[in-house]
Structure 1
Amino acid sequence: MDMPDMPVNVPVDDPNADTEWNDILRKHGIIPEKPKDPEPIIQEALLEAAQRAHENRLEDKDLDELAELEDEEDEAFLEQYRRQRLAELSRLEKKSVYGQVYGLQKPDYARDVTDESSKAFVMVNLTASLGTNVEARILTELWREAAVKFGDVKFCQIRADLCIEGYPERNTPTILVYKDGDIKRQVVTLAHLNGPRTNMRDIERLLLEVGAITENDVRLKRKDSDEEINGRNKPTVEEEDDDDDWD
């Protein structure tokens, strides 16, 4: 009479030990493979991170700052990097065909926004009719600054109730982002950005999120601190006259 197969208990002192006996057991699947040592993987990741940091050490430098590093960096490398920066700036300049905020009229909306978005990103500011809307005034000011800085993106503006009859004042300002004939993002009021403290950093972050600009865009390299930007934007908007209101 055949005896049924019975599990065999193999004595193992330390399954993780590098012994000939354990190698035999692993080969026959009696004990699992020894876990890989994570240390080499960690060290490799750290080396790669350090290498990337070294390669990108000049990313936040403008042309003047690059010139100041001539005694610290390899001259040939600096020259190559400077030429890359100039080439990128030249490319962006050629694409910067807008450079201002375009006032919209409802009959021309499809042509000036929807159709135009097949060529570039189009950002529409549905603004308020009342000068007491602080967020609308802030965005109007930032819209001007962004339009000049990112001339390859078309920035437009129209009073919300003239564009959409009965559009609630409480929903202004509203940002509509168009690309390839469709609305890619809708931002109702500045609450989803930074409220009354919204500044150019927040507008740039929105442009990054929708893909209108890329993270390595040289125009994002700024020396200003967030505090300086906030301090500059807020009084400028509050002191501004109501000339920006649409009739």
Structure 2
Amino acid sequence: MLQVERMSLILAELNANGRVTVNGLAERLMVSKVTIRRDLELLNQENKLLIVHGGAIKPNFRLYEAPFNQRHDINIDEKKQVGQKAAEFIQDYDVVAFGVGTTTLQIAKHLQNKHNLTIIVGCVSILNQLIERKKSGFFTGKIIFLGGEIDTDQMFATGTVMMDMLDRLNIDKAFIGANGYSIVNGITTYNIDEGNFLKRMILRSSEVYLVVDHTKIDAKSMYKYTEFNDVNHVICDSEPPSDWIKQLESEGVQWTKA
């Protein structure tokens, strides 16, 4: 079977079921898993699907949220670009809050030459990275962890203790992620607890920066936690869709390409 035929069949199954698996495709198309992964990668580069652990899903809808460590390496180069650019917006003496997500993690990994920061964080993976960066002298200041019950799949704190603590804090700049960013569907995530946490963080912040890679643009997930114009700034590895530009400008949403 030619590659173009395989890719056509992959897209047909994806459109029918919303999700495909490497194992299932390899068995049905009678080719190796390596071949299927290669086909999926090409389709991903064309923005026709989104690669997830074990297979792929439609690019415009997140059927589930893979665990944090499984999502870490998806589109890693783009996430690094976004994280590095976002870190440039952090200034000395800022009170900064980090949301949950693998793109947000990259901001922490690129923090350097910053002084007297106060960093508020509810994600364990980001907390660990910040501790190492501070101990290594990349920034000075203090780290405040929003404690609570730990979601061990998504690696962040949840519950009323965390939310009550967040309600007592005033934040200069919040950096948040999303599973989808859309003018029509707003800012969405799969995890309701995460969405409620990010919504509260937005309300407590003077400026809000959304950090996403290109696969999240015009995508949607199950839970809408806020409107597209409830952020002040979008940082992405690609330009916005051309038909969005006027509305983004009219709503005061700045867009920076990393």
| Fold shared, TM-score > 0.5 on shorter chain | no
More strand by share: 2
Q: Which structure has the larger Rg over C-alpha atoms?
A: 1
Give TM-score, length-normalised by structure 2: 0.23
